[in-house]
Amino acid sequence: MNFKLKDIGPQLITVLAVVLVFGFFTYNAQVNMENRGIDFGYGFLSQESSFDVQFSLIEYDGSHSYFRAYLVGLLNTILVSVIGIVIATILGVIVGIARLSPNYLINKFAAFYVEFFRNIPLLLQIFFWYFAALRALPLPQDAEPMFGVSYLTIKGLYVPAFIWQNYNIFFYSVVAAVIAIIVIRTYAKKVQENQGKQTPVLLISIGLILILPLLSFLIGGVRLSFEVPVLKQLATTSFIYEGGVSLPPELIALALSLSLYTATFIAECVRAGIQGVGKGQKEAAASIGLNPNQVLKLVVMPQALRIIIPPTTNQYLNLTKNSSLAAAIAYPDLVLVFAGTALMQTGKAIEIVSITMFTYLTLSISISILMNWYNKKIAIQEK
Amino acid sequence: MSKINFLKPDKSNLSTFLYTGSFLFFISVIDVFLNSFFRINLTSFLPSFISFLLPLILGFIGLYFIRIEFSGIKNLDLINKHINTNNFNAILSLFIIFVIIKSTPPILSWFVIDASFAGDSKDICSGSGACWTYIKVWMRRFMYGMYPNAEQWRINLSFVALALLGSVGYFATEKFKKYLTLYYVVIYPFIAFLFIFFFISGGPVFFDFSYGIIAAVISIIVGFFIPSRFKFYYFIFVPITLYIALKYFIFYEELIELGKLDGLNWVETGAWGGLSLTFIISFFCLIFCFPIGMAFALGRRSDFPLIRYISIGFIEFWRGVPLITVLFMSAVMFPMFLPADFFIDKLVRCIIAISLFEAAYVAEVIRGGLQALPRGQYEAAKSLGMGYWKMHIFVILPQALKLVIPGIANTFLALVKDTPLIFVVGLLEIVGMLNLAKTNPEWLGFAMEGYVFAAIIFWIICYAMSKYSYNLEQKYKTER
C-alpha cells in the first residue's frame, strides 16, 4: 500500500477546499446571471461596438466590432509599454552607472533622483504630469516651434510625418545590413577564437548600417519627404494642427511617468549588478593587460548582465502592468477601452474582466519566457 | 616647450595655477548666480550664445588649472578626487552645479516667496507662486475625506491610541519581550480591528467579521497546545466550526449589543477617505497579506504536489495581472460570485483584493528566503525530532524572514504606493480627494499645489519606511 493517509489527507483537503470555493462561486454566478437575465458567452465580441476611441494605431470607429476595440486597446497598451521600456532602460542604465561614479556630485544627483521618484506613488506622478505639468503648456496657436517643425502644445506633441516612396526597398536594405552585421560578428568571433586576430567589428558595422540604406536612396529610388503639421483654425478661439503625427498628451504623460518611475528601479538593478562583480575580477583583468574599456566590455559587463537581467525583467513586467493606470487619465489602453467602455455597454462583467486579465497574464508570461530564454543564453556554461 | 609647460598645471608653480584656476571657477559660479538670482547678466556685451556658454568654458578652464595631483593641500586634493578627476567629470560637475544654482530661485519663489499662506478664500492667490491657502482650506477633506467634521475626533483618537499601543514594544521590559510576537501578531490587530470597525465606523457594519476574528484568535491560542500531528486538521476544521457555533448558537444577542457603542453615529465607508483611509487600507492589507503570503510560500515548497501546484497557480496568477484589473474584478465581477442577499462592503472587497494581490509578492519574497537557507538547517531540525510546523516556526521561518527583510519592506512600500488605485472602485483616499477638489468650480487651477502636497506626504512616509527597514536589516543581521 503506497498511499498513506498522512500524505493524501492534506492534499485532499486542500483540493476539496479549492473545489468547494470555486463551485460555490460558479453556482452563485449562474444563479445571479439567471436572475438578472444575462447569458454567458463570448459572442458579443463580433457585435458592433458603437463607441469611438480617441487614439488608435489601427483604423477604428464605432462600426467596428468589440474585438476590434479590444485590439485597439491592446495595441495602445503595447505602444506605451514599449516606449516606456526603451526610455526607462536608457535612463536607468545611465543613472545606475552615475550612482557608481567617483564624482561626488553626480553620485548624489543620481541618488537624489532615485530616492525622489521611487518614493512617490506612480498614480500621483501620472496625475502630476497630466493634470499639472502638461496643462501648463501653451495653446496650439501660441506654441513656439521646436526645430522649426514640431509643436509641443496642451493638445499634444505634433511632429512631422515621414512620407516614403518605395519604402520596402529601404526596409530590405536595413534588414540586409543587420543580417550582414550578424554574419560578420559571428565570423569575427570565430577568427578571434581560432587565430587570435581582432577585427574592427564596430567600424564595419557602423559603415554597413549607414552605407546600405544610403545606397537605397541613391540607386534604389527611395524618396523621403516630410509632412509638417500646419496650424488650422476651427473656430474663433479653437485651433488645431493638421498633418504630421500627433501624440496625445495622455500618451506623453503616461510614457514619461512610467519611464521616470521604472528607471529608478532599473538603476538600482544596474548598480547592484555592477557592484556584484567581484573586485578581484577587475584586478585580474587589469593584471593581464586589458585596458579599462576592455575590462568593462569583456570582463565586467558579461558578468554584471547575469545579475542585472532577472530583476530588470521583473521591472519590465511591472511597467507593462502599471501601464494599466492609463485608465486614470483616459488614455485608451486595454483597461479603459475594454474593461471600461465595453463593459459598461455590454454588462458582460465576467467575460470582459476575464479576457482582460488573461491578456495581461499572457503578456507577462511571454515577456518572462523571452527574458528567461535570453538569461539562459548568457548564463555561465559550467562544464 | 615653455608653452606646453604653461598649459599643463603641475606642482612646481602651484600657487599661480591655483589662484588663476580658482579665480576663473568663482567668476563662472558668480556669473551664473547673479544671472539666476538677480537677473544681472555680467556678459551681456557678448553675443547671446557665447554669453550663455561662457560660465561653462571659464569654469572648465578653472577646474583644469586646479587639477594638480598630490598638491599637498588637503582640501584641493579632496576636491580633485571627488568632483574633478578628469575633463569629462569636470564638465559634468560644473553642469550639475549650474543646474542647482539656476533652478533654486524659481523653486524657492514658487514654494515660499511668492506663495500665499494666509486667508481662506481663493482671492488671496493672485501671485505667481503656490497657493497653500488651497491646501489649508481643504486640509480636513484631504485628511479625512467626507467623514463628518464633528466626528473626526474619532479617527484622531483611534490613530493616537493605535500608535501608542503599537509603540509598546519599545517600552517592554525584558520579562515581557517574549510575549511581544503574540501581542503584535494576534492581539494588536484585533484591537485595531475593534477600533476601526466599531469606533471609526460607529456601528455593526462589519459585524459578521467579528465572529470570524474571535474564532480565529481563540483557535490560534488553543492551537499552541494541540499536538503537531493533528495541527493541520485542527486548523482546517476548528476555526470554521467555532465561527458557525459562535454566530448561530452561542452569543448572538450579546454581540449585537456590544457592536453598537452608545452615542456614536454610524459613518458609512463611502464617506471615509483622505490620508486616514490610506493608513487604514495599508494597515489591514499589511496584516492580511503577510500570513497569506507565508502560507503560499510554504505551499510552493511543499512536498505534496497538489498543494505545490495550487500555490504556484495562485502566485503566478496574481503576479501576472495588474492591480487595477484585480480591483475591477472586486468591484464588478466579485458580487456576481456571491449569493444575491450576501453583501460585502466596498472597502472590505478592496482590502481583500489588495491583500491577495500583495500576498503573491510576499510569497515570492519569502520563498527566496526559504531557498537561501542551507539544507543543513532543515536536516538539523528534523534530526531533533521536530515536525513540519515546529521546524518551520522555530527554526526555518525566523531565519528566512530575517534574510528577506529588505524584500518584504519593498513589498510593503509597493502596497502603500498602490493604495491610491482604489479610486477604481470609487473610494477616495488622498489622491482621489485631490482630484475631487481640483474639479471644484471655486478652486479651479490649483492642481499643482495639491499634487506637490500629496507627493511630499507620500515621499515622507515611503522614505521613512525604507530607512526603517534598512535599520531593521542592520539590527537583525546575524553574522554567518
Cell of A179: 543580417
Nearest to A119 among B93, B304, B458 (CB): B458
In a domain? residue A349: yes
In a domain? residue A139: no
Domains of chain B by range and CATH?
2-113 (no CATH), 135-147+267-476 (1.10.3720.10), 204-260 (no CATH)
Residue A124 above 50 pLDDT?
A: yes
Residue B58 above 70 pLDDT?
A: yes
Chain B stretch 426-465, residues whose beta carbon is closer than 8 A to a beta carbon of chain A: 431, 434-435, 438, 447-448, 451-452, 454-455, 458-459, 462-463
Rounded to the nearest angstrom, the minimum Cα separation between B313 and chain A is 12
Q: What share of chain A is helix, strand, coil (3-state, %, to 5)?
A: 70, 10, 20
Asked if B366 is an interface residue toward chain A (Cβ–Cβ < 8 A), one would say no
Q: Which residue has the higher pLDDT, A182 or B120?
A: A182
* CATH code of residue A264: 1.10.3720.10
Q: Check residue B252 and give its pLDDT.
A: 57
Across the range A2-24, mean pLDDT stands at 78
Q: B448's torsion region: left (phi>0), alpha (psi -120 to 50) or beta?
A: alpha
Q: Check residue B41 and give its pLDDT.
A: 72
HEC secondary structure over A198-213 = CCCHHHHHHHHHHHHH
Q: Check residue A238 and give its pLDDT.
A: 73
Q: How far apart are the C-alpha atoms of B386 and B383, rounded to whole Å?
A: 7
Max avg pLDDT among A366-370, B5-9, B93-97, B388-392: B93-97
SS3 state at B131: strand
Q: Check residue B1 and give its pLDDT.
A: 40
Contact criterion met (CB < 8 Å) for B463 and A115: yes
Residue A317 above 70 pLDDT?
A: yes
pLDDT tens digits along B321-330: 889 888 888 8
Question: Could you tell me whether strands A239-242 and A230-233 are parallel, antiparallel, or unpaired per DSSP bridges?
Answer: antiparallel
Range of the domain at A121: 66-132+248-378
Beta-carbon contacts of B34 under 8 Å, excluding residues fewer than 6 positions away, are: B40, B41, B42
Q: Give me the residue label for grid cell 502560507.
A: B295
- pLDDT-based confidence at residue B204 (cuts at 50, 70, 90): low
DSSP string, B149-162: GGGHHHHHHHHHHH
Q: Give me the residue label for grid cell 530607512.
A: B467
Q: Count of CB contacts below 8 A, A vs B?
A: 160
In a domain? residue A294: yes
Q: How far apart are the C-alpha atoms of A321 and A325, rounded to whole Å?
A: 8
Q: Which of B84, B60, B59 lies closest to B71 in space, CA to CA? A: B84
Helices B430-438, B132-144: crossing angle, 10 deg rounding: 130
A145 has which bridge partners? A151
Interface pTM, i.e. ipTM: 0.82
Helices B207-223, B252-259: crossing angle, 10 deg rounding: 120
Residue A90 above 90 pLDDT?
A: yes
Task: Evaluate whether B429 touches B422 at the Cβ level (below 8 Å).
Answer: yes
Across the range A200-213, mean pLDDT stands at 81
Q: B80's torsion region: left (phi>0), alpha (psi -120 to 50) or beta?
A: alpha
Residue B408 above 80 pLDDT?
A: yes
What's the mean per-residue pLDDT of chain A? Answer: 83
Contact criterion met (CB < 8 Å) for A32 and B325: no
Nearest to B435 among A31, A127, A361 (CB): A127
- Look at chain A and report how many structural domains it folds into: 1
DSSP B421: G
SS3 state at A165: strand
Q: How far apart are the C-alpha atoms of B357 and B377, rounded to whole Å?
A: 31
- Maximum CA pair distance of chain A? 89
Q: How far apart are the C-alpha atoms of A296 and B209, rounded to whole Å?
A: 59
Across the range A67-75, mean pLDDT stands at 87
DSSP A137: S
Nearest to B448 among A9, A132, A335 (CB): A132
Contact criterion met (CB < 8 Å) for A327 and B324: yes
Amino acid at A72: V
Contact criterion met (CB < 8 Å) for B421 and A123: yes
Task: Evaluate whether B408 touches B365 at the Cβ level (below 8 Å).
Answer: yes
Rounded to the nearest angstrom, the minimum Cα separation between A60 and chain B is 24
In a domain? residue A113: yes
Task: Evaluate whether B400 touches B372 at the Cβ level (below 8 Å).
Answer: yes
Chain A stretch 94-123, residues whose beta carbon is closer than 8 A to a beta carbon of chain B: 101-106, 109, 115-116, 118-123
DSSP string, B57-118: HHHHHHHHHT--TT-S-HHHHHHHHHH-SSHHHHHHHHHHHHHHHHHHHHHHIIIIIS-B-S
